[in-house]
């Protein structure tokens, strides 16, 4: 019998764990395999499935027989529950011996492992169930292998084949333009990413001209997490628009080197995934990078706050999902534009975070006027340390010293 290190046991019942791991007495295991132990339905199914798929021939045969006699109505209640162990769901979709209503309950449970659905779609002789699967467009878009399995199954119905073929043609065989990609993302529930692709004029042009591959567009869209409804671009006044210029290839290559150099200097990991992300993001024009900064996830923000263009970096600070922990780190960075540090300093919410204001005060790039206004909120020991800090301006050191002396009565 498998140990609890080899199999995930969802139940908290110690009797279930003992039976599945083989530590229970043999009579208890035999009783469990025949379904005569007083267990609630979900625990009983977890035990029976574990025994039915285990190595003990006697227990396996007993458990399979017991599972075959379970009341379909009782099964449906457990199988429809998202907390049900994935192994149970996989078992009940592994063959055609269970009733239609049981299969439908498994197929509509979002926690059912997709490999199990692919395997069922490939091997079932029940054309009606293939048709049932074909109506779940989102599932087939997310797992194209299901489409291929339905089309290849000789027991498919004409309707199942038609729907699977239409989805394959519509989403996987047409030329992948921006709108097509947006449709696929929306079908997968990625509304924010779909909006980003639809609104990006450059991405549309690059996809049509071959300047950007479908894979690159999808890769970039995966960074998007903020929907339009959460974006506030009221800070982006007309005076900024002239700074949304397009760089040359050489300038973009220099920006890539700058960002990679900063990550290395800070001791951050520079894996191949991050290098690929930076290169792909920098292929985008300035306007699209600004939109990505406003709508992107933590990794996108971490990259784009280092963009030398102040508009892109400021957009990161205006991202609705940015966290205080991220702002604490940015406040200490000596490579971000002064405008970014000024935005942080005047934000009332962040001003209540002592780590943020302390980092700003010690940052030589923080505008002097903002640093001065921060000093009065700093603790005495930090003022004393700042008065000796040669990295900040003389004016900040002198003011820190005056405030420290005033508090100590000197």
235, 315: one domain: yes
Radius of gyration of the chain measured on its C-alpha atoms: 30
Q: What is the pLDDT of residue 240?
A: 62
The torsion of the CA quartet 198, 199, 205, 208, rounded to 10 degrees, works out to 0
Q: What is the pLDDT of residue 235?
A: 74
205, 124: one domain: no
235, 311: one domain: yes
- What residues are paired with 296 via a beta bridge? 224
CB atoms within 10 A of CB 241: 11
Of 213 and 187, the one with more pLDDT? 187
Model confidence at 40: pLDDT above 70: yes
Q: What is the pLDDT of residue 356?
A: 95
CB atoms within 10 A of CB 41: 14
Q: Rounded to whole angstroms, how far apart are CA atoms 252 and 244? A: 14
195, 223: one domain: yes
Of 321, 328, 325, nearest in space to 296 by CA: 321
Taking the model in full, what pTM does it have? 0.57
139, 201: one domain: no
Domain annotation covers residue 3: no
170-190: pLDDT as tens digits: 777 655 677 778 887 888 888
153, 42: one domain: yes
Domain annotation covers residue 7: no
318, 234: one domain: yes
- The count of structural domains within the chain is 3
Beta carbons of 231 and 295 less than 8 angstroms apart:
yes
Res. 288 pLDDT band, cuts 50 70 90? confident
Q: What is the pLDDT of residue 147?
A: 94
Q: What is the pLDDT of residue 228?
A: 85
Beta carbons of 194 and 164 less than 8 angstroms apart:
no
Domain annotation covers residue 239: yes
Domain annotation covers residue 313: yes
Domain hosting residue 407, numbered range: 331-410
Could you write out the DSSP letters of every residue in 217-246? HHHHHTTB---GGG---TT--HHHHTT-PP
Of 323, 313, 369, nearest in space to 349 by CA: 323
Q: Rounded to whole angstroms, how far apart are CA atoms 33 and 116? A: 24
Question: Domain end: 145, 173, 201, which one?
Answer: 173
**Lowest mean per-residue pLDDT among 21-30, 247-256, 335-344:** 247-256
Average pLDDT over residues 280-294: 88
225, 354: one domain: no
Q: Count Cα neighbours of 94 within 13 Å in the Cβ-side half-sphere.
A: 13
350, 394: one domain: yes
Domain annotation covers residue 178: no
64, 135: one domain: yes
Res. 325 pLDDT band, cuts 50 70 90? very high
Question: Domain end: 116, 146, 173, which one?
Answer: 173
Domain annotation covers residue 132: yes
Domain annotation covers residue 155: yes
Domain annotation covers residue 180: no
Average pLDDT over residues 262-284: 86
Residue 330, φ and ψ in degrees, nearest 5: -65, -40
Q: Rounded to whole angstroms, how far apart are CA atoms 258 and 264? A: 10
**Mean pLDDT score across all residues of the chain:** 87
Q: How far is CA 354 from CA 48, 246, 346, 360, 375, in A?
A: 56, 38, 14, 10, 11
- % of the chain with per-residue pLDDT over 70: 93
Of 8 and 243, the one with more pLDDT? 8
113, 232: one domain: no
First to last CA, the chain: 77
Q: What is the pLDDT of residue 234?
A: 76
Q: What is the pLDDT of residue 10?
A: 84
| Degrees, nearest 5: CA angle 235-237-240 | 110
Most confident residue range from 1-5, 139-143, 228-232, 399-403: 399-403
Q: What is the pLDDT of residue 330?
A: 96
254, 363: one domain: no
Q: What is the pLDDT of residue 133?
A: 95
- Which tokens belong to 180? 């097509």
Cβ-based neighbours of 90, under 8 Å, separated by 6 or more: 112, 113, 116
Average pLDDT over residues 198-223: 74
Question: Domain end: 322, 356, 381, which one?
Answer: 322
Average pLDDT over residues 293-315: 92
Of 70, 71, 6, 60, nearest in space to 30 by CA: 60
């Amino acid at each position: 019998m498998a140990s609890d290190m080899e199999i995930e046991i969802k139940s908290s019942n110690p009797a279930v764990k003992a039976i599945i791991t083989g530590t229970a007495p043999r009579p208890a295991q035999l009783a469990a395999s025949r379904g005569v132990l007083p267990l609630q339905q979900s625990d009983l199914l977890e035990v029976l499935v574990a025994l039915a798929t285990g190595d003990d021939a006697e227990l396996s045969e007993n458990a399979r027989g017991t599972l075959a006699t379970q009341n379909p109505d009782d099964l449906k209640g457990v199988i429809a529950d998202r907390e049900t162990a994935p192994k149970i769901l996989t078992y009940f979709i592994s063959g055609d011996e269970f009733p239609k209503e049981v299969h439908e309950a498994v197929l509509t449970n979002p926690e059912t492992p997709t490999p199990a659905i692919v395997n069922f779609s490939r091997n079932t002789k029940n054309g009606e169930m293939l048709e049932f699967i074909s109506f779940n467009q989102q599932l087939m878009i997310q797992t194209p292998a299901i489409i291929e399995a339905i089309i290849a199954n000789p027991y498919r119905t004409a309707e199942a084949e038609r729907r699977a073929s239409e989805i394959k043609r519509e989403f996987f065989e047409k030329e992948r333009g921006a709108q097509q990609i947006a449709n696929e993302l929306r079908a997968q529930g990625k509304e924010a990413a779909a909006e980003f692709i639809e609104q990006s004029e450059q991405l549309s042009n690059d996809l049509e001209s071959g300047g950007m591959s479908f894979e690159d567009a999808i890769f970039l869209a995966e960074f998007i997490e903020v929907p339009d409804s959460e974006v506030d671009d009221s800070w982006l006044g007309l005076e900024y628009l002239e700074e949304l210029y397009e760089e040359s290839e050489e300038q973009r290559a220099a920006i890539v080197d700058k960002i990679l150099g900063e990550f290395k200097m800070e001791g951050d990991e520079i894996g191949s995934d991050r290098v690929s992300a930076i290169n792909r993001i920098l292929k985008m024009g300035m306007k699209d990078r600004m939109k990505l900064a406003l709508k992107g996830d933590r990794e996108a923000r971490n990259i784009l706050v280092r963009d030398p263009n102040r508009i892109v970096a400021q957009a990161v600070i205006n991202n609705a999902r940015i966290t205080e922990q991220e702002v604490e780190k940015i406040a200490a960075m000596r490579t971000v534009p002064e405008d970014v540090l000024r935005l942080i300093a005047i934000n009332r919410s962040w001003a209540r975070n002592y780590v943020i204001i302390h980092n700003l005060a010690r940052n030589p790039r923080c505008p002097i006027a903002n640093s001065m206004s921060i000093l009065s909120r700093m603790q005495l020991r930090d003022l004393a340390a700042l008065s000796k800090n040669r990295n900040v301006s003389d004016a900040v050191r002198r003011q820190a010293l005056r405030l420290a002396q005033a508090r100590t009565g000197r």
